Chains A and B, each alone.
Chain A
Amino acid sequence: MSPQEDNRVPPGTGATTPPTRRQARQSDRKDEVRTEKAAETADGALPPPAAAAPEPETASQTLLQRIMTGNALVAFLSVVLSLILGGLLIAVTDPAVGRASSYFFTRPQDTLGAAWSAASNAYIALFQGSVINVRGTSFTSVIYPLTQTLTVATPLICAGLGVALAFRAGLFNIGAQGQILIGATFAAWVGFTLHLPAGLHLLLVVLAGMVGGAIWAGLVGLLKARTGAHEVILTIMFNYIATNLVLYFLSTSAFQRPGSTNPISPQLDGTAVYPLLLGPAFRLHWGFVVAVVATVFVWWLLNRSTIGFELRAVGANASAARTAGISVSKGYILAMAIAGALAGLAGVAQVSGTEKVLTSGVAASFGFDAITVALLGRSSPWGTFAAGILFGAFRAGGVTMQASTGTSIDIVLVVQSLIVLFIAAPPLVRALFRLPVPGAVGKGSTTPRTPASTGAAA
């Protein structure tokens, strides 16, 4: 953690230069590197420079572009590799495998068979809990897991967008957890205290959630802009403060359910909750549509608006941005506030969508998962959206897996973090699978990739 963090490559910036130019630049001031980079890539919205076009890993930011370039293979192999490692872990710890391994040298096929069934059963349960239940008797029960995935993905996408947006402004926002909690608190209060007509009430709930998250995160932005305090530390501390604050609120008469001694709020009014999207058979609610809208909005904001340009400029190189007349302080505060508002939407999705009450555990661990979601999505809006759905599937399926095969849901965390790690280091995956190094002809070497492009890859 350093004051030089502004010079650190932000996760969203893609570099596109061959090593020779890059190395030459390394000796120059970092600022210049950043300026060029920012100008060159502009989030991959611009086509890559003609000279760099033959390199398949150039400027691949969005998921779609990644698939069209060679990186899709690396992403796919990363997922496969992580699933294999996770499967090994499940197999090794399985009691049946342990029993069979005691006579491994007389009948090795027993051990291997037990290992295979342990891992495959867990993954089949994971799949059936997250995509399609093949044993379902009706259409509803067959596609139910898929809607569960989307329901779980909703807060992940919203909060992930917030983290991604802050990344793009050069801020490492670890505080989505606290922002979700405060957003949920604001939303829930409006939801059960005010009694308003349908429509207006929900609108106010959503707004309150966004305002709550925006205030909580904006405070971090303000402190960073004014005092230079590090946002990683600030957001982590604000998470703890938010948890305790919500616990305190839930012990006051304004928030605590009348007659209850537990830290739980009253139910939100029927007018304050998201309507169900696909009817009462599914839990999927309109919050998912809001998440889609939020994704479009963030894409527009980052790539098509002046504010977005300024935020990206601040993230790419704060000094250059300041020289160009952009207020870095304003950028920090604004980026955090918008990020908080998005996390607040995740809080609304929880209190107004699935939980319908406020508890201190309403944010689950969505705020922390959102960080990996944004990293996997390479801080691009649609990448984050896709990553949110993938992790939503893991989470929804993990619950089914834990229930049916007894495999702990923690394995999902292992697989998720391995995926992010592998995707961040394509040379490792290529080396493991003996893949040819892309652009080897052009680069003429197998040196590690640039910090910028690998940073972007995470």
Chain B
Amino acid sequence: MSTATTTTATGTGTGTSGVRSWKNPIILSVVALFCLVVFALGAPGNSVTFRLSEADDAIVLPSLVVSAPIIGWVCTLVMLALAVLAVVRTRAGVRTPTWVPAVFAVLFFIAFLTWVVGSARTPNVALYGLLAGSVTLAVPLIFGSLSGVLCERSGVVNIAIEGQLLFGAFAAAVAASLSGSAFVGLVAAAAAGVLVSLVLAVFSIRYVVNQVIVGVVLNVLVSGLTGFLFSAVLSEDSQRWNSPPRLPVIRIPFLADIPIIGPILFEQTIVGYLMYVAVAVVYVALYHSRWGLRTRAVGEHPKAADTLGVNVNRRRFVNVLLAGVVAGVGGSFFTLVAVSGFGKDMTAGQGYIALAALIFGRWNPIGAFFAALLFGFATNLSNVLSLLGTPVPDQFLRMLPYVVTVFAVAGLVGRSRAPGASGIPYIKG
């Protein structure tokens, strides 16, 4: 990323407004004009129904019916106003407040959703299903990006998230099938994640090999290894090796009846609950514990940490192994929750999306959580919309999560900053 170099070269921090940045106003204006043409002028004439609950739920909410042109115009006009505000502020040399892009993004999102559902053959979508499905799809992403947070905060780049997820999924399937217990599979998944982490740690910390290279190669290695074992062992006798029992869904009474958020928060498998716990634990530990302070110190300025008596490389080693536990458990989602059984390369690049979520979330567990949710939502939306029959070609819908990622990384977090020493090996001396 050229961020750091740009700022160091110009001698100004990102916080100072010495140089006017026209990037934000330009992006906002272009997007707002795009919305004017597509979402406002091109709005479908009908109304859109968002269903908020199922008919047989304990608490039934009325459906939200909105008019597509009204929503389109209102959102677009506010977005145009925000774009003008950004232009005016930038001209005056004042920084645009951070809430402007945030509100803009939310409005764009509402306008887009209304437009795209309104243009579908059946302008009627179950919002609760859309949200619950997004969280489900986001579970492995969240585990993956938490694994990235643990590694990168201590100064080790973790490209191997994909490999950790895949190996976790594989180990979970095999162990659960052999033992007949999904919980054994869960433990095995964590162990498998640690195994991948161990290789990453040994090569990048002990043998100081470039961390990105180890990560990329590990992903290939895990893909080849699981693929080979899949065709040589698992598919030969899939009854014995590849028919894991699924993790049961644990429903918390009453709380799960809350409309919309009830099923998301209180009707999950143990992996789903572990996800919420993991986000909270990593966040609290990272910012409010001695371990976290030292981890961040090791990731930002290892020399200083070393001077104060922190064993930099041991701390990194331990953190990379912990990251393996987290990512491995996330991998078990694929074979113990989503589908029952391992498939070749079944993680399908989710580890890389988790990496993007980590960067989009600014190396913060909470940020990564919401970024992963956004990607989960984009994926789920494209699935739902292709069923509804929209005018947008199927391929473009499937591109959606990736395009969102590009915009997120390029437009919204272009100036985010990684831990200072991330990717740089530390050699005591």
Contacts and interface: CB of A to CB of B under 8 A. Distances in A.
A353 B409 CA distance: 37
B424 A4 contact: yes
Interface stretch (A49-57, A148-156, A424-432): A424-432
A371 B410 contact: no
B418 A414 contact: no
Q: Which secondary structure characterizes the binding site on chain A?
A: helix
Interface string A383-408: 00000000000000000000000011
Interface centre among A3, A241, A411, A457 (most CB of B within 10 A): A3
Contacts of A371: 216
Interface string B183-227: 000000000000000010001001111111110111011011101
A421 B5 contact: no
Contacts of A11: 210, 213
B5 A6 contact: yes
B409 A234 contact: yes
B423 interface: yes
B281 to A, nearest CB: 23
B2 A319 contact: no
Contacts, number: 245
B217 A421 contact: yes
Contacts of B199: 421
A412 to B, nearest CB: 7
Contact of A227 (B213, B356, B396, B414): B414
B214 A228 contact: no
Contacts of A228: 1-3, 6, 414-415
Task: For chain B, give the interface size range.
Answer: 35 or more
Nearest to A98: B233
A113 interface: no
Interface stretch (B127-135, B169-177, B397-405): B397-405
A425 B207 contact: yes
Interface stretch (A66-74, A104-112, A210-218, A242-250): A242-250
Q: Which secondary structure characterizes the binding site on chain B?
A: helix
Contacts of A90: 232
Nearest to B352: A236
A229 B1 CA distance: 6
B15 interface: no
B420 interface: yes
30 contacts: A2-B422, A3-B417, A4-B418, A7-B423, A93-B233, A224-B1, A226-B23, A229-B414, A230-B1, A230-B359, A232-B159, A232-B355, A233-B352, A241-B403, A248-B396, A251-B395, A318-B5, A319-B5, A372-B216, A372-B217, A411-B228, A412-B224, A414-B221, A414-B228, A421-B199, A424-B209, A424-B214, A425-B203, A448-B207, A455-B213
Given A233-B405, A319-B9, A408-B232, 9 more contacts: A2-B420, A3-B3, A30-B424, A229-B410, A328-B2, A416-B220, A424-B213, A450-B208, A458-B209
